[in-house]
């Protein structure tokens, strides 16, 4: 059964839902042709209709009506079409009272939105521009953690295997002598598959003993090793019991 197709809001061509952008619901071609850019005046983001279009529709209308804007006396954004303040600061002042000093840029242009606004920026008192920047950083960090989380288990286990293979090559003689002190079941497994199972044993051995002796000064990656070690130990235990 074919998956449902959804129309791009710009060109109306139909695409699978995951191929359309979040919010705007644009296809890849339209995202390239009409990127999201910042308005030269009010600094808010808008979808660019053409390369020469650098101001949003709202500011374009205001320019026709009131002429070129001046810098706002509070935030310095060039969007004061009427009087000395931009519309954003005018509305915020009516709602939240006079502006306070932004903790980031130190300009007197942050409006205290109490619990509602501060919760979104870790309790900081930030102006509008600094709030946008802070949210972008938070979003980027969140995405990086997400991508790291999905690849971390694979990469950590593969790097562990590589390290252990490297370790086994250099310390083959040491482990060879060490084998005699273990039960016959270890020798039995090793003889069945010298490459695979011996590698598993060495991984479990390294994970349970060597890691405990290693100092935490080494790479933070070691944090992921004990869980891998437990997995290898249980796998090794199942092999010996079967």
| 8 A C-beta contact, residue 6 and residue 15 | yes
* Contacts of residue 154, Cβ cutoff 8 Å, sequence gap at least 6: none
- Does residue 89 register a pLDDT over 80? yes
pLDDT, mean of residues 140-150: 82
According to the model, what pLDDT value does residue 12 have? 81
Query: Residue 171 — left, alpha, or beta (φ > 0 → left; ψ -120 to 50 → alpha)?
Result: alpha
Residue 230 has pLDDT above 80, yes or no: no
pLDDT at 30 exceeding the cut of 90 = no
Mean of all residue pLDDT scores within the chain: 71
Kindly report the pTM of this predicted structure.
Answer: 0.51
Report whether pLDDT(235) > 60: no
Helix (H) or strand (E) holding 109: strand 108-110
Please give the structure tokens belonging to residue 66.
Answer: 């009131």
Q: What is the mean pLDDT of residues 40-48?
A: 89
Between CA 202 and CA 33 the distance in angstroms is: 55
What is the secondary structure of 46-88 as a DSSP string?
A: EE-SSTT--S-HHHHHHHHHH-S-EE-TTT--EEE-STTS-HH
Confidence of residue 155 (pLDDT cuts 50, 70, 90): low
* pLDDT for position 51: 80
Q: In terms of C-beta density within 10 A (0-12 exposed, 13-18 middle, 19 or more buried), how is residue 108 classed?
A: middle
Please tell me the distance from the alpha carbon of residue 72 to that of residue 51, in angstroms, as a whole number: 27
Tell me phi and psi for residue 218, to 5 degrees: -70, -175
């Amino acid at each position: 059964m074919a998956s449902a197709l959804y129309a791009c809001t710009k060109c109306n061509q139909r695409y699978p839902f995951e191929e359309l952008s979040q919010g705007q619901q644009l296809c890849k071609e339209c995202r390239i042709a009409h990127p999201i850019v910042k308005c030269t005046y009010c600094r808010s983001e808008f979808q660019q209709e053409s390369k020469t279009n650098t101001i949003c529709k709202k500011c374009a209308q205001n320019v026709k009506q009131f002429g070129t804007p001046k810098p706002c006396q509070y935030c310095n954004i060039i969007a004061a079409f009427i009087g000395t303040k931009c519309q954003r600061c005018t509305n915020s002042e009516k709602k939240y009272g006079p502006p306070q000093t932004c903790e980031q840029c130190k300009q007197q242009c942050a409006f205290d939105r109490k619990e509602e606004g501060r919760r979104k920026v870790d309790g900081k008192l930030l102006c509008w521009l600094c709030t946008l920047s802070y949210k972008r950083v938070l979003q980027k960090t969140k995405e990086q953690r997400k991508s790291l989380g999905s690849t971390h288990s694979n990469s950590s286990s593969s790097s562990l295997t590589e390290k252990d293979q490297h370790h086994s090559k250099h310390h083959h003689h040491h482990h060879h002598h060490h084998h005699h002190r273990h039960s016959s079941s270890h020798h039995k497994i090793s003889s069945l598959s010298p490459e695979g199972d011996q590698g598993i044993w060495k991984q479990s051995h390294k994970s349970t003993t060597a890691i405990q002796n290693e100092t935490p000064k080494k790479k933070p990656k070691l944090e992921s090793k004990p869980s891998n070690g437990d997995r290898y130990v249980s796998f090794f235990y199942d092999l010996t019991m079967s």
